[in-house]
Each structure stands twice: as structure tokens, then as C-alpha cells.
Amino acid sequence: MNERESIISLREQLHRHNYNYYVLNAPTISDKEFDEMMHRLQALEEKYPDMSDPNSPTQRVGSDLNDEFRTVPHRRPMLSLANTYNLEEVREFYQRVSDGLHGQPFQVCAELKYDGLSISLHYRDGKLVQALTRGDGVQGDDVTANVRTIRSIPLVLDSSREDIPEEFEIRGEVLMPWQSFERLNDERSQAGEDLFANPRNAASGTLKSKDPKVVSQRGLDAYLYYLLGEDIPSTGHYENMESARSWGFQVSKDMRLCNTLEELWEYISYWDVHRKELPVATDGIVIKVNSLAQQKALGMTAKSPRWAIAYKFQAEQACTILREVTFQVGRTGVVTPVANMDSVLLSGTMVHRATLHNADVLEALDLHIGDHVLVEKGGEIIPKIVGKEGTENGKRKTENSEKSEYSEKSEYSEKSEYSEYSEYSETSDDKHPPFRFPFSVFRSPIHFIQRCPVCGTPLVRGEEEASHYCPNDLHCAPQIIGRLEHFVSRKAMNISQVGPELIQQYYRNGMLHDVSDFYRITHDKKVADSVARSTEVPFERVLFALGIRFVGEIAAKTLARKFKDIDSLMSATMEQLLETDGIGNVIAESIINYFASEENRALIERLRQAGLQFTLSEEQLSTHSTTLQGQSIVISGVFAHHSRDEYKRIIEQHGGKNVGSISGKTSFILAGENMGPSKLEKAEKLGVRIVSEDEFLAMIGQE
């Protein structure tokens, strides 16, 4: 065997050993032998760079840094499931299915609902070509490089299997096992870093990490639960998953086919107890009609299929003693009361802090130091106090109340990797010592505070608002830091080299006072380059980045389009603002207040000097939508509905970018008839998706 052949052979062997170890938990060689083989392969790959392969087992340790994650449309939308919280609703689902199938017999597949973040893996010719997060369900982030480091995900499938479709997607959940989660948090705590609130956050933060090497070390795992494609082997979901398991995917062994509601009850009650023994977090049971034909007949609603439902386990509660209430100040100045309690074990983690949301919730709970409080951790990240021991409040919640307080999983899984729940303490200094609420009288009821715990400014509460906030936005430290973090974030200026830690550091060193100081950084070239690139960011995102209270992404876009430049917006009257679609009193007033401030106007001037975009170009004005924003598209072939030039214009109008040649950065190829064979080959090699004319028109809503 020559060295080139050895590369192929070592890869095959290592893929197999990897599977034995990570999926079957049954290694057949020692770790030492495995490492030796890996080193041999690494050395050979270095010697023969022309044989490099992104799916080589050596890539499991992580390749180059991700610059940023491309947003890529899903080939098939990634739906979520309707949730139920009690067995009665499961019975109703069962009945609806039965009615929908006009009394036909049917089977359901019951399986565990894994609590991580969903992922869609795309395979072609037996190789992993792309991995996307759920994103908004229509398009997700390309996290392929990071996913390649997850050892239980096969990069290459056994080519001797004849039932593997040429092209398919398999979906599942990326998870951080409890063990890895605890190890990670131990390390972070020793390093004085913020802890992750739960394994889901940790998994999500890790998968979005810019450094695949970090991902590789964090011990992520994945379970797959949904196979999609034209030529999948069976007519039943369960059977398809069995096939997927035999192809090398990690598919739960705890799926059950149920013929009756009674069998389903048994499954649910068994797992309600035994799920605690699993190595990963689960938060419910998913019930799916098994026959694909019956699934098709049942169809779906706008958001979720009618053939499946998620039953969420009752949130676990624990009782502990309240020791102190502290108050935390967020980016927009909102002050949140936080309960500090004796540590208690809840759903597998130690909990000692819980949110009390706002003044109303705090008052309604009528808390005293020393109270025995009931803490609950449901689907949300942050534990909450639901009542005191012996009160009625600890009872099971209805569907609405469980969902209301925090955004749904899909949204918060896209957020930054750090728990948003770190209390304001890191920046405390001599002038601003960490706040402690002065309880002098033991057992006196706890009330909301009147002044900002950081800067002492009297708090205000807007009419009909639940929260109190500190109006000293320009000089209150957590608000300044929050604004700096918001400014660099992806949807704002996207200054990817600057994260929360660096901001804290620069702020403490006195290098950053407001967002214009970013543009004076010179000592770190990487940072300076990343900052310089942000001067290209269009006006609407600059406006969003300023962090004007209540001016979110959509409002910023509407305002930018209506007023076209910052000067017109700054001089707009209340009436003019109110004439704008979607801008009501609250937003309009906030804008007027923002620009009334001399300091804010001076800031805008400094940003203008730094070269930021404060005008919308003609080209941007003619953009119809942002469906294709951030996507690089190659056009190839001949088309039936529009000419190539028209397609170029359409792409721009929807925010996309036309590029001439295919590269790894291409989001997709809009392919008409007769696409050239060399392009096709290149696209396949790089795993770039090919979109037909009809698919493309559907994508931009012109079916």
C-alpha cells in the first residue's frame, strides 16, 4: 500500500473506530492506538495537501476560524411542534388524528424530546455536505465546520450500503451531555467567567462559537430524529430511523411504536421518571403519527405539522430559603429584582438565584427574608419563584403562562453564548460597589427600590409599563456596557472581533466611553480591521445599532426608508414620526428624546466623522425585501420566467449579492436549464446548494 492509499485506509478505519467509540460506546482498540493512527493520518495529510478532505477524521479537532456564519435557506422548512402540557391535550391530539384519518387505524411513534438545539444535516453521496441551525425555520446558519467536530455525527457513510439515498437531510438535536456541561462550568467558574445557565445554552453558545477548535473540546453530542428526502427507505418514520441508525447515526433506542393511547400513557409515565437517568437533558415526549402517508394526509398548519405534538414534562419545583433580593440593571436600564436563595438541586443543577421579573411580581409574592420559596425551572433558561411554600401557586401552569415570560427557544438559542442572566457586578469599583439591599429589619416585606442600584438615579416607570428603569442612560455603567455590546452585535454593526469580554476589558481600561471610541482603536489590527469593515454597514442597521430605546430592527428599517438620512430623522417632528408605518407614540417619543440630547447629537457627529453610513443609497432604497440579505448567489443557465439580467436585479432587490464564480462562500446557485457541467461539478465539490428557478421564485414569494 503506498502512502496515498494509506490515507484512504486510515480514514476508513478511524471513521469506524470513532463510531464504535462515540455512538456504540464499544471501542475495539485502545485510546493510544486510536491516537497513533490519527497522528499517522495527520502526518500523511500534511505531506499530501492535495488529498485534503473536510470530512477526514482529522477535521474532528476543528479547522480554521469561522469568519462568520452564512445564512442559508433550508431546502425544506424546519417546522416546530405544537406543545401540550397535560395528558388531556394529548388525548385530544390523538382524537384529532383519528378524526382526521376518518377512523383508519394508525400507529404513533413516541420518543424523547431532547432539550438542545435543532440542527439539519445534509448528506450527498454518503458525505456530510452542510449543517444548518434552525434559524427562523426558513433559513439557518451554516455551522458545518463546527458540526464536523461532533464525534457522534458521521462525516462519511458506509459506501457499501445500498439503501442510503443519494441525497437526504437528517434532523436532530445537538446537546451538551450533563457531564460535559458540568466540566465546562467548573472550568469557567475557576477562570472567573460567566457560567452557562443550562446545557442547552451551553450547546447553543458552543455551536455558534467562531472557533471550531473550541467546539471540538466541549464534548457536544447529537441525537437524530427525523429523516427527509426523495428516496428514503421506508414508508414509516420509525423504520426510517432504524435505517438511519444502521447507517451510523446516533438514533435514540428509546423510541416506541404505540398502537393505543394506553401504550402511549405507559411510555409517558415511564419516562417522566426515568429520563433523569439519561446522560442528556430532555424536556418532554414527542408523539408522531408513524405512517408517512398518514402524515401527508393530515398535513400541517402554518407553524407545525398536524401529525405530531410535543408533551412537555411538568417543570420540577424545589423549596428553599430566600436570603436576599438584589437588583440588576440591564442594557436599556430596566431594573430586575433577583432572589438569592440557599442552593437547591433543581432538574439536575444547583440553583441559588431566581428572577422576580418586576415590581408587580415582587409585590404580589409578598416576600420576606427567610421565606420558604418554591422555585421552578421549566423550558426557560432562568429559574423563577412561583410562590411560597404552602400557597396555591406551585401548581401546574397552563400552556400560556409557561410560554409567556421568555421568548421561545428558537429565539433565545440564537443569542450570545453567555447567559443573559449575569447580575451586574463585574464592573463594580470604588465608586460603584456592588449593591446590597439594606435589610435592617428581619422579616419585613421586600419592596421594589426607588433608585438605581448602580448610579443612584431615581427610577422611572412608564405608563402601562411593567418595568422600572434608570433614566441615566448616558452615565450608568451597565447601560453603557450594554449599549457597547449591542452596537457590535451581529444584527447591528457586526463587529465580530469584539465580544462582551473585550468590551468589559476596554471599558475598565478607560478606552471605551461610548460607541464612537471603537473607531479609535488602533493597537490591535484584527479589531481595528473588523471595526473598519463596519463603516460599510447600511444606514438602517446603524440606526438599529445606536440602541435608541424601543427602536428595534424593524422600526429602524422603516424609519431609514422613510427619512432616508439621519439629518431628516433628527429634525423630524412628532407628527412626521407618527405618520410612519408601525411607529406609535412610544417609539416616536423615544426618538424625539434621543435626538433632543446634546450628547447624543455629538455622538452622531463623531460617528459621521468616523465614516459610518447615515444615508440610504438609491440602490438600498429600491430593495424590496431582505429575504436574500447576506447571501452570495451565482446565476447559471437559461431561465423560463425572467432573463438573467432581470434575475440579477431581483436578487439585489431582495438584498442578495450577485457573484460571478462559485466558491465556498457562495450561498446557492440559481440554476436554469443547461447549467454548465464544470459549474455543476464545482458546486458539488464545494457542497453549494443548487436552487431551481421555481424554488427561487417560491423563496422570494413569487410562485
Q: Bridge-partner residues for 221, per DSSP?
A: 175
Among residues 47 and 303, whose Cβ is nearest to ligand IVH?
Answer: 303
**Rounded Cα gap, residues 19 and 373, in angstroms:** 46
Contacting ligand IVH within 241-260 (CB under 6 A): none
Q: How many residues does the chain have?
A: 703
Consecutive H or E run containing 186: helix 178-190
Q: Bridge-partner residues for 84, per DSSP?
A: 311
Nearest approach, Cβ of residue 410 and ligand IVH (Å): 7
Instruction: Out of 310, 369, 382, 542, name the contact with ligand IVH by CB under 6 A.
Output: 310
- The distance between the two most distant Cα atoms of the chain, rounded to a whole number of Å, is 83
What single DSSP character describes residue 381? S
Q: Which span (74-82, 318-326, 421-429, 490-498) binds ligand IVH, by CB under 6 A?
A: 74-82
| Helix/strand/coil for 172 | strand
Nearest approach, Cβ of residue 545 and ligand IVH (Å): 30
Is 693:672 a contact under the CB 8 Å cutoff? yes
Q: Does 205 bind ligand IVH (CB under 6 A)?
A: no
Nearest approach, Cβ of residue 83 and ligand IVH (Å): 7
Instruction: Out of 308, 382, 542, 669, name the contact with ligand IVH by CB under 6 A.
Output: 308
Q: Which span (182-190, 303-311, 536-544, 667-675) binds ligand IVH, by CB under 6 A?
A: 303-311
Which phi and psi (to 5°) does residue 565 adopt? Answer: -150, 165
Among residues 137 and 394, whose Cβ is nearest to ligand IVH?
Answer: 137
Does residue 682 carry a catalytic annotation?
Answer: no
Among residues 308 and 498, whose Cβ is nearest to ligand IVH?
Answer: 308
Instruction: Out of 85, 106, 225, 327, name the contact with ligand IVH by CB under 6 A.
Output: 225
Which phi and psi (to 5°) does residue 486 adopt? Answer: -65, -40
Instruction: Out of 305, 337, 478, 482, name the contact with ligand IVH by CB under 6 A.
Output: 305
Among residues 81 and 570, whose Cβ is nearest to ligand IVH?
Answer: 81
Instruction: Out of 80, 314, 497, 593, name the contact with ligand IVH by CB under 6 A.
Output: 80
Q: Which span (46-54, 110-118, 178-186, 562-570) binds ligand IVH, by CB under 6 A?
A: 110-118
Among residues 223 and 539, whose Cβ is nearest to ligand IVH?
Answer: 223
Nearest approach, Cβ of residue 76 and ligand IVH (Å): 10
Nearest approach, Cβ of residue 629 and ligand IVH (Å): 23
Nearest approach, Cβ of residue 81 and ligand IVH (Å): 4
Q: Which span (17-25, 79-87, 93-101, 326-334) binds ligand IVH, by CB under 6 A?
A: 79-87
Residue in this structure with the C-alpha cell 423630524, named with its chain if needed: 572
β pairing state of 308-312 and 83-84 = parallel
Could you tell me how many residues of this chain bind ligand IVH (CB under 6 A)? 14
Q: Which span (77-85, 330-338, 429-437, 553-561) binds ligand IVH, by CB under 6 A?
A: 77-85
**Rounded Cα gap, residues 315 and 346, in angstroms:** 10
**Rounded Cα gap, residues 409 and 698, in angstroms:** 27
**Rounded Cα gap, residues 542 and 189, in angstroms:** 35
Mask 475-514, x = binds ligand IVH (CB under 6 A)?
Answer: ----------------------------------------
Residue 659, CB half-sphere, CA atoms under 13 Å: how many?
15
Give the list of residues 6+ apart from residue 569 with CB closer than 8 angstroms, or none: 543, 559, 563, 591, 595
Q: Does 118 bind ligand IVH (CB under 6 A)?
A: yes
Question: Which set of grid coordinates corresponds to residue 643?
Answer: 432573463
Nearest approach, Cβ of residue 252 and ligand IVH (Å): 7
Q: Does 113 bind ligand IVH (CB under 6 A)?
A: yes
Contacting ligand IVH within 140-179 (CB under 6 A): 173
For the CA atoms of the chain, what is the radius of gyration?
27
Which phi and psi (to 5°) does residue 260 adopt? Answer: -135, 165
Among residues 111 and 371, whose Cβ is nearest to ligand IVH?
Answer: 111
β pairing state of 349-355 and 334-346 = antiparallel
Beta strand residue intervals within 356-463, DSSP E: 372-377, 384-388
Instruction: Out of 226, 249, 435, 544, name the contact with ligand IVH by CB under 6 A.
Output: 226
Nearest approach, Cβ of residue 274 and ligand IVH (Å): 16
Question: Which set of grid coordinates corresponds to residue 179?
Answer: 457531564
| Helix/strand/coil for 95 | helix
Among residues 58 and 118, whose Cβ is nearest to ligand IVH?
Answer: 118
32, 113, 210, 679: the catalytic one is: 113
**Identity of the residue numbered 495:** I
Which phi and psi (to 5°) does residue 383 adopt? Answer: -65, 155
Nearest approach, Cβ of residue 251 and ligand IVH (Å): 10
| Helix/strand/coil for 198 | coil
Contacting ligand IVH within 596-655 (CB under 6 A): none
Give the list of residues 6+ apart from residue 41 with CB closer than 8 angstroms, or none: 7, 10, 11, 14, 56, 57, 58
Sign of the dihedral defined by the CA atoms of residues 27, 33, 35, 38, in that order: negative
CA torsion, points 192, 198, 202, 203, in degrees to nearest 10? 170
Among residues 62 and 229, whose Cβ is nearest to ligand IVH?
Answer: 229
Q: Which span (94-102, 113-121, 440-448, 628-636) binds ligand IVH, by CB under 6 A?
A: 113-121
DSSP symbols for 117-152: EEEEEEEETTEEEEEEE-TTSSEEEB-HHHHTT-TT
Q: Which span (112-120, 264-272, 502-510, 585-593) binds ligand IVH, by CB under 6 A?
A: 112-120
Contacting ligand IVH within 265-294 (CB under 6 A): 286
Among residues 94 and 114, whose Cβ is nearest to ligand IVH?
Answer: 114
Q: Which span (7-15, 78-86, 88-96, 560-568) binds ligand IVH, by CB under 6 A?
A: 78-86
**Rounded Cα gap, residues 356 and 250, in angstroms:** 40
Angle ∠(455,459,464) on CA atoms, nearest 5? 150
**Rounded Cα gap, residues 457 and 449, in angstroms:** 11
Number of residue whose CB is nearest ligand IVH: 118
Nearest approach, Cβ of residue 156 and ligand IVH (Å): 25
Nearest approach, Cβ of residue 145 and ligand IVH (Å): 21
The footprint of ligand IVH (CB under 6 A) covers: 79-81, 111, 113-114, 118, 173, 225-226, 286, 305, 308, 310
- Positions marked active-site: 113
